Structure 1
């Protein structure tokens, strides 16, 4: 009997610096959270294997966490090449990061047009500091034709759920050949 059919999906994670992109990826791939902020230089790369034995599939998510600082803008285009999906992250405690999401979508459309999108409002655990409402996040997601989740990389809240949703969208499009219509 042959092994599972393997698929590789490249996913880019985008958003302003310090919104928690690296922390979300680390939580999803390694079940870790680092309290200390470490700025991404260019891009960070992680892999997560998702086995679906009931469907005889193995999915390899290549997750590219792109640096959000303006001065890394010139290196980002090459990291989009071959992307199957984009995850946009903003910080629920920093309105400007929410307001910049449309800029990230505009940039991504230049290099990875028409791919599935997930919008994440991160740091939901910082209840007292929150400045962006769930309603605002949902409205932006609807406008961008994206799924929306409020996450906490620190508490691992909704991290697996949002990546599972994205993986299922990618499987529908590329394995089961259902048209993308978000």
Structure 2
């Protein structure tokens, strides 16, 4: 009986994606969760939320990812740091063509560790398709990853390069480290705690409660939405199917 109950418990992983604005955080979680990408950019205000369930062959376990896309602007720092609570993994993202986003990585790392302690974390250099216009040298990036003791992934969300690999690695590390039990409090519990807090949607929202459109929502689509509160104060989320990366692994430390 105990064995049956143990199998019925799903592994849930809350992943926060942090970094300066316009580095591709929203595009990254949307590509992973929905398998879509658009070039349209709309600033995230507060936090957006998506969900995806996938099987991780590396650990032989199915994991439900709760994907939290946080605003990268300093004026929203007090809001977004509230949503770090209960995170089991973090993506530190910067853009290949944005030097400021690279220089800010250590500051984002400190914010996350201050709130979450030691959790599974990776450094992601996005937009590697624009390496000809890179604002930093590859050696600088590798040295930063070594300094922070983080695995480095070089990604291109537009071409779906290494996006799934990032999340698969974090999920596997989370499970290997003991999962939700190691956090002392499940990420799902944390999500429910903050669900009743005020939230705002995209910068084109009609009101603070929502009405806007996620930045990566394709034209004409009406079904997929960012995180919104439903009946009883519970979040309404989008469940999506899996999608394999058609590219091989990129440069990883």
Q: How far apart are the structure 2 equivalents of 1:111 and 1:63? A: 17
Q: TM-score, normalised by structure 1?
A: 0.89
- 1:94 equivalent to 2:98? Answer yes
Higher relative contact order (CA 8 A, sep 6+): 2
Match of 1:48 in 2: 52
The answer to which structure has the higher strand fraction is 1
Query: Compared with structure 1, are the counterparts of its residues 123 and 112 closer, same or farther at alpha carbon in structure 2 (3 Å cutoff)?
Result: same
Q: How far apart are the structure 2 equivalents of 1:56 and 1:164? A: 12
Q: How far apart are the structure 1 equivalents of 2:171 and 2:178? A: 10
Q: How far apart are the structure 2 equivalents of 1:103 and 1:52? A: 31
Give the Å deviation of 1:146. Answer: 1.0
User: Could you tell me whether the CA contact under 8 Å between 2:18 and 2:72 is conserved in 1?
Assistant: yes
User: Could you tell me whether the CA contact under 8 Å between 1:117 and 1:145 is conserved in 2?
Assistant: no
In structure 2, the gaps of 5 or more residues are: 183-253
Q: Which has the larger radius of gyration?
A: 2
4+ runs deviating over 3 angstroms: 2-5, 52-57
For 1:1-182, what aligned pairs fall within 5 Å after superposition? 5-52=9-56, 57-174=61-178
- The worse-fitting range, judged by mean Cα deviation, of 48-57 and 115-124 is 48-57
- The worse-fitting range, judged by mean Cα deviation, of 79-88 and 129-138 is 129-138
Give the Å deviation of 1:153. Answer: 0.7
Query: Compared with structure 1, are the counterparts of its residues 168 and 130 closer, same or farther at alpha carbon in structure 2 (3 Å cutoff)?
Result: same
In structure 1, the gaps of 5 or more residues are: none
Q: Deviations over 1:58-116 (max 9, x none)?
A: 21011111100111111012101101111100001111110000110111112111112
Q: How far apart are the structure 2 equivalents of 1:99 and 1:54? A: 33
Q: How far apart are the structure 2 equivalents of 1:45 and 1:16? A: 18
Partner of 2:40: helix, strand, or coil?
coil
Aligned-residue CA RMSD (Å): 2.2
Aligned residue pair count = 177
Give the Å deviation of 1:128. Answer: 2.3
Give the Å deviation of 1:139. Answer: 1.3
Partner of 1:166: helix, strand, or coil?
helix
Query: Compared with structure 1, are the counterparts of its residues 164 and 52 closer, same or farther at alpha carbon in structure 2 (3 Å cutoff)?
Result: closer
- The worse-fitting range, judged by mean Cα deviation, of 43-52 and 59-68 is 43-52
Partner of 2:88: helix, strand, or coil?
strand
